[in-house]
Amino acid sequence: MSSIAVVTDSTPGLPADVVERHGITVVPLHLVADGDEFAEGIDLSTEQVPDVLRAAKKVGTSRPSPAAFLDAYERAAAGGATGVLSVHLSGELSGTVESALLAASRASVPVSVVDSRTVGMGTGFAILSAIEAGESGADLEACVQVATERAGAATVLFYVESLEYLRRGGRIGNAAALLGTALAIKPLLGVRDGVIEPVARVRTASRALSEMAHRAVAAVEAGASGDGGAGVDVAVHQLDAALRADQLVETLRPRCPQASIGLFELGPVLGAHVGPGTLAVVVSPRP
């Protein structure tokens, strides 16, 4: 998109080669562990994150400042952009959208900020569709619509080893009702309209993961049968759950031949709120 620049935050987990190929500007959120601050995607490798989270007595995250976004927007303008599409994780889970909106109000070029109302590659796939639309000649308003619609169509499911990280981070949403029975169940959670919701309650991790696979397959089939039949993208995110992630991919591939399925990093910021051992799947029908 020669005239429309794309800005996002670091939480979608877009691969570095994709970011570079499309010229996407990524403004990082930060992980704060026992007072030490780490810029996501810059200061920690994925392999280091579980150890940092387990060792820290106090863990938090911080959104980018409005100044960081304004700098990104002005650099885009200086590079020749006549507009900026800025797409971010759910405003229900982070103040990142608020920072972006404040910066957009001060930018020298039009900036359209999109609250994806989702997380991870639910946001990432929306960005990629918007870029594709822009490369086909869509204007900024049309790219906003594409990003918003694709993000809204995403199904996000995730399994956590413990609800404690969500509780401590204050991001537990409607799943808070599960806290009193956390020892007796292994909850399957989801993100619906930007908020974390309980999806299913089962007794074992294996049942939770089986339920995740079943629901992911159903979401793929529903997405593939929609208007146009353009196909479905599936992202499997994991944090210190590589074996389970591989098993989920191998389960989904023969059952979802119409889907493109890939493994994507779960970074330290989302990881700080869900904890090591998390496995997630994003099902995103293409426009």
Region 100-124 average pLDDT = 98
Please tell me the predicted confidence (pLDDT) of residue 170: 55
Tokens found for residue 128: 């990629």
Residue 175 has pLDDT above 90, yes or no: no
Mean pLDDT, the chain, as a whole number? Answer: 91
**Packing angle, helices 66-78 and 96-104, rounded to 10:** 50
- Strand order, beta sheet including 36-39: 36-39, 30-33, 59-62
Quote the pTM value: 0.93
Inter-residue contact 30 to 37 (CB < 8 Å) = yes
Q: Where are the domains of the chain?
A: 4-29+64-150, 155-285
Instruction: Read off the pLDDT of residues 248-278 as tens digits, 9 standing for 90 and up.
Output: 999 999 999 999 999 998 999 999 989 999 9
In angstroms, the CA 208 to CA 201 distance is 8
Please answer whether residues 228 and 287 qualify as being in contact, where contact means their C-beta atoms are separated by less than 8 angstroms: yes
Q: Which CATH number fits domain 155-285: 1.10.150.20, 3.90.550.10, 3.30.1180.10, 3.40.50.300?
A: 3.30.1180.10
- Angle value at C-alpha 125, between 172 and 166, nearest 5 degrees: 10
Q: Binning pLDDT at 50, 70 and 90, where does residue 183 land? A: low
Residues 247-282 as b/e (b if ≥16 CB within 10 A, e otherwise) read: ebbebbeeebeebebeebbbbbbbbbbbbbbbbbbb
**How far apart are alpha carbons 167 and 175 in whole angstroms?**
9
What is the pLDDT averaged over residues 124-136? 97
Instruction: Reply yes or no on whether the pLDDT at 174 is more than 80.
Output: no
Can you tell me the mean pLDDT for 155-179?
71
Higher-confidence residue: 180 or 163?
163
Which amino acid is it at 226? G
- pLDDT-derived band at 89, boundaries 50, 70, 90: very high
**What is the band of 284 on the pLDDT scale with cuts at 50, 70, 90?**
very high
List, for residues 184-226, the tens digit of each pLDDT value: 577 889 999 999 888 988 888 899 899 999 999 999 999 887 6
Band of residue 180 on the pLDDT scale cut at 50, 70, 90 = very low
Burial class (CB in 10 A: 0-12, 13-18, 19+), 176: middle
**Single-letter amino acid, residue 128:** L
Q: Do domains 4-29+64-150 and 155-285 have the same CATH topology?
A: no
| Residue of 167, 124, 97 whose CA lies nearest to 11 | 124
Classified as helix, coil or strand, 201 is strand
Span 4-29+64-150 CATH architecture: 3-Layer(aba) Sandwich (3.40)
* Residue 27 banded pLDDT, cuts 50, 70, 90: very high
pLDDT digits (tens, 9 = 90+) for 29-59: 999 999 999 999 999 888 899 999 999 889 8
